[in-house]
Amino acid sequence: MELTTVWFILIAVLWVGYFVLEGFDFGVGMLLPVIGREENERRVLINTIGPVWDGNEVWVLVAGGATFAAFPEWYATLFSGFYLPLLLILVALIVRGLAFEYRAKRDEAQWRARWDLAIVIGSAVPALLWGVAFANILRGVPIDADMEYAGGFFNLLNPYALLGGLTTLLLFLTHGAVFISLKTDGRVREHARELALKIGVAAAAVTVVFLGWTQIDTGTVGSAVAFAVAAVALVGGLLAVLAGREGWAFIGTFVAIGLGVAGLFLALFPDVMPTTLADGTGLTTANAAATDYTLKIMTVVAVIFTPVVLAYQAWTYWVFRRRISVDHIPAPLPTPTRR
């Protein structure tokens, strides 16, 4: 197997890891004011992802870095052509991170409400725009003969891409609701389970349409298998929610998102960014790749450090595996008076 193919697979794995892990983070953030009707309940929701959300974001950083090193032409065209949506995603992630850190700094309802809104927006914007971005990569964008993006921002807002954004938004909401029901107890757990079923039905319908459209346009035998298993896993996850088996439900949504993203990469290969221009030059794993020497060095580094990172993150999830409820939330400390 050529190293360009190996690194295409590794980048696909990184994006799969990002979407299945950060996906429930986004879902929890978007559901914060819906499930968290009281302050203690909202603190429970934030605590479910508190130990892991920043670690989950590392996946996208590594995916971006790997793309830059392994496929510099892909990175350059992607980040120049998708500059505005990627900038919006970056700003949203920064604001969301600040909100997690700052909402508890003052014991004032209005202060917390503003940061809660920042968490919702900072979760919803990436959840939507990541789907829009990946759908455009699959569909193809205007790339000229010099392998430079020749379109504008509104080229990205086509029906297929918007459907892709709605798909990731609904899938992450479902994934987040299932994760909340897995990690909490009491009223929060029951409310999350109810929402997972309601949102999950809509997510399943939209996902089938989007993946079916993708398969008809650019699909392969491999992507068809991945999409079919993803659909079965999503339905199985919803049935597990109905039966009160949150662990199996989370595995179902986890597998559905993971195989859905894997299917998108299978449908894309060997392209990495196709062009819609007749006289343009699409990017492939061959013409967008770095030198063999660079890929060899990167492969050695990946073989050494990837198992370490995976083991550490698995250990983190194991340590924080217990359910939490409002009974575990301590009363807030009194705000010190100024003299």
Query: What is the per-residue pLDDT across 324-339, written as a single tens digit (0 to 9) for each?
Result: 887 767 765 555 555 5
Q: Give 281's pLDDT tier (boundaries 50, 70, 90).
A: confident
- Inside any domain, residue 336: no
pLDDT of residue 152: 81
Q: How many domains does the chain have?
A: 1
d(CA 132, CA 87): 14
The per-residue pLDDT for range 135-174, each reduced to its tens digit, is 999 999 999 888 888 888 888 889 999 999 999 999 999 9
**What confidence category does residue 232 fall into, taking pLDDT thresholds of 50, 70 and 90?**
very high
**Please, what is the angle between helix 109-139 and helix 3-30, to 10°?**
150
For 184, which DSSP code?
Answer: B
Task: Identify the three-state secondary structure at position 325.
Answer: coil
In a domain, 227, yes or no: yes
pLDDT in tens, 28-82: 999 999 998 888 889 999 999 988 888 898 899 999 999 999 999 999 999 888 9
Q: Please give the pLDDT value at position 106.
A: 87
What is the pTM assigned to this prediction?
A: 0.92
Any domain includes 337: no
Distance from C-alpha of 52 to C-alpha of 311, rounded to nearest angstrom: 14
Query: Is residue 313 in a domain?
Result: yes
333 is a domain residue: no
Range of the domain at 173: 3-324
